Structures are given as C-alpha cells and as structure tokens.
Amino acid sequence: MSKVHENIIHDLRKGTKLAQETLYKAYSAEFLSLSRRYVKNTADAEDVFIAAFYKILTKINSYTGKGNFEGWMKRIVVNESLMYLRKNNNFIMTLETSHHNIKHEVHYGSDIDYKNLLKLLDLLPTGYRTVFNLYVIEGYKHREIAEQLGISINTSKSQLILAKKRMREILKKKHIYNIA
C-alpha cells in the first residue's frame, strides 16, 4: 500500500477518528482532484468527493484486502462521480455525424500540466470528458466503460475519438501546445 498502512485499515474498521483523519489528509486532495476531472463545477465536485469519502468510511468492511486499497477507494470516487453525472445530466452521449478519420494525435504527456488539462477537459461535453477520463487517465477498457455507463462499446470508442478530435481542435485554436 502506498499511503495507507494495514494498521490504519484495521483502525478504520473500528471507526477510529484518528485513522479517518489520517486517511482524509492522505487522500483528500487527490480524490477531490479525481472527482473534479469528471464534474465541471468545483462545488459539485466537492459534494461528490464528500459523498465518496463517506462511502469509503462506511463501506470499509466491504474491502476484502484483495487488491490495492487505494485502487478500491479510487473506484468508489469514480463511481460516485459517474452516479452524479447520470443523475444530473441524464448521461446523454454527444454524437457528431462527421467522419471520424483521425490522422494526428495530441500528445498528452508532460507538455500539458494538470491545471491546463482540467481546463481543456472542462471544454468538452460530458460524454467526451467522461470517456476520455475513464480510458486515457483511469486506464479502463472500452468494454468496462460501456458496462459502467450503460452504452455500447462502439459508443465508448467514438466518444474517445471525438474527445481527442475536439481537444486537438481546441489546442490548435488556442495555440497552446505542439500537435503532431
């Protein structure tokens, strides 16, 4: 475990306030940032984060010890973010009828810092942003995204293609980064 020692998990299961505070201090910034990537409005992202953190604390006994604890917590934050999006956006995927022939890719790496990536993601429709986050940043496969969002695998793939296309257009328009 990276930030959490097994003793803290044991203490969390007992409801120890110090363990809860330790966990909060270790992960609050990271998990708020994670929820913010999905939810545009900062206040709403904070609400999602608080709901996710509460769920982590109240569902700690469902963590079996198999797999990474941090990964288990991140999945809760992502799921809470997706539930928020479904509830508040009817999670309608944006579809465009243009031909999806992408010849160039935007290179996402150390060139774009997190703050600029977040600004760029904020300019995308909910469907694009969500699939981009799940696939590129979280590492989900299209099959997993389709199951999570209740969409087809092809819709997931097209949303990713369209997200990259839109990001590339925005970056070119703003002349922010070099594009291959």
pLDDT for the residue 173 = 84
CA-based Rg of the chain, rounded to a whole angstrom? 18
Contacts of 149 (CB under 8 A, 6+ apart): 82, 91, 130, 131, 156
d(CA 105, CA 86): 29
Which residue ranges form the domains of the chain, and what is each CATH number? 6-89 (1.10.1740.10), 93-180 (1.10.10.10)
pLDDT for the residue 176 = 55
Structure-block tokens of residue 25: 């201090």
Per-residue pLDDT band at 106 (split at 50, 70, 90): very low
**pTM to 2 decimal places:** 0.75
d(CA 47, CA 58): 16
Out of 6-15, 59-68, 109-118, pick the least confident.
109-118
pLDDT of 30 > 60? The answer is: yes
d(CA 122, CA 160): 15
User: Pick from 115, 93, 112, 128: which is nearest to 171 by CA?
Assistant: 112
Residue range 118-130: average pLDDT?
90
User: Pick from 42, 29, 27, 177: which is nearest to 122 by CA?
Assistant: 42
Residue 145's SS3 state is helix
Residue 107's SS3 state is coil
